Each structure stands twice: as C-alpha cells, then as structure tokens.
Amino acid sequence: MNKTIKKSIFTIILGILGIILASSTLGATTLLLAPSSINVNRWESFELIVKVDPEGVNNYTVKIQLQYPTDLLGVKSFSFASDWMQLTQPDYDLIDNTKGVLIKTAGYPGGIFEPLTFGTVLFTAKNTGNGIVKLGEDSFVLDVANKNVLGLLTEAAVTITALPEEEIAPEEKIPPEGEIPPEEEIPPEEEIPPEEEISPAPPLFDILIEPVVKELRKSPLIPILVIVVIFVIVIGTYIIYRKKKK
C-alpha cells in the first residue's frame, strides 16, 4: 500500500514538473532575424528584419541588443514597425558603429500574442568577408508582470563579395630622385621645296620655227642645204654686182 502511494506521489510530482517545464518551454518568446543568410557586394546596403514570436505568451515590451562586426558592417538606420512605442532613455536606444552595437526598445499597447515585426535595420557592407549579426544577451521581452520571457536568440550570416575591379590606368613612371628625364624629341619641321623658277615665255617667232629647226637638225640633208644656201647667196651677190657695174 505504501509502495503504491509512493509511486502515485512520485508520478504526480513528475507530471507537475513536466507541465511546468512544458509551460516554460511553450511560453518562451523568440527573437528572429530575417533573412538568416545574406549575400551582398561591397558598398551595397541591405535590410535585416527583427521579428518577435510570443509563442502564446502576451508580450508587452521588447528590447533588442544587436551585435555586428564593425570591420564589415555599419548601421545606417533603424525603423520601428507600426504601433510600437519607442523608448529613448539611455541604455535603451543606441547605435554605435564603433563598437558594433545597436539597442532599440519599445512597448506595444495591449501586448502581442502572435508573431509580429519589431523593426528593420539598414546596413551598409563596408568590406569583403564573412560575418555574423546576432542578438545579444542584454535583449529581453517582458510580459504583463514585467517578467523576462525571452527564450531563443537567433543570428544571421552575412557574406560580402567584391565588385568587379575597374580598369586602372597605368601609372606614370616617375624617374628616381636626381635623375633628369630625357626630353622628348621634337620632329624636324618639314622642308618646303623651293619654288620653281618660271622661265619667261619664248617669243612667238621662236615658238613657230623651233619645231622646224629641231626637225632639220635631225635630218642628214642639213650640210647639203647649207652649201646650197651659200651657193645661192654667192650667185645672187655676183648677179647684183654685175647689174650695178653695167
């Protein structure tokens, strides 16, 4: 009898513990980062969305602490989703691109029971490489009793690639110090040919008889013609002389 009672009590205790554990597990809120994997080029911007999944627990206040590698990423801005009431007190609102920390806190009037977007982070990819954006341990989600019901924190992987390299113009060679660079050779000026001397036009008589003279010079009868001309001149002179004498 005692053994039966002990077994029953032990079973009841295990059941209660199981219910408590199940309730705590089912009631744990999850903070999500979407997308979970990002591929961008250097100097491009991209958005990372922060979501709240209450998983059946009424959530009223959410604080996120986002951590990111400063050598790869920089935060440009953060914007809350609609209906969230931002808290701007110190330690609840911060963007520090030197330390790589973003902190944002806000309450939701009436609480949330279903998954809801908290806000959007706009990043700039500064350098090539791989990095992780994650939610830090200072994040929390409060229920109606101001109890932290945050359970799971997620992260996002970022891969940044280089843009195609632009063609770089060849660098101008600088001579060593003290060395005088050779002067550029100046091509000689083009020589202008002298103007052709224009000989005066020959007299009209020469133009007319020149072809005849050239032909006579080529002919073998020239000596004979010369002799005949001389003979005619002598005979003519003699005849004229005789006539004058009479």
Domains along the sequence of the chain with CATH: 28-161 (2.60.40.680)
| pLDDT on residue 164 | 77
Distances (CA, A) of 212 to 97, 217, 228: 110, 9, 18
Taking only the tens place, the pLDDT of each residue in 82-140 is 999 999 998 999 999 999 999 999 999 999 999 999 999 999 999 999 999 999 999 99
- Tell me: cis bond preceding 35? Omega within 30 of 0 counts: yes
Who has greater pLDDT, 244 or 162? 162
- pLDDT above 90 covers what percent of the chain? 54
Cβ burial of 111 (10 Å; 0-12, 13-18, 19+) is middle
Residue among 89, 146, 82 nearest 108 (CA): 82
pTM of the model as a whole = 0.58
Who has greater pLDDT, 153 or 203? 153
Q: What is the mean pLDDT of residues 154-176?
A: 73
Q: What residue type is 180 in one-letter code?
A: I
Confidence of residue 214 (pLDDT cuts 50, 70, 90): low
| pLDDT on residue 159 | 98
Asked whether 82 and 118 are in contact (CB, 8 A), the reply is no
| pLDDT on residue 25 | 42
Confidence of residue 142 (pLDDT cuts 50, 70, 90): very high
Q: What is the CA angle 81-79-122, rounded to 5? A: 125
Confidence of residue 173 (pLDDT cuts 50, 70, 90): low
Who has greater pLDDT, 170 or 232? 232
| pLDDT on residue 178 | 57
pLDDT surpassing 80 at residue 8:
no
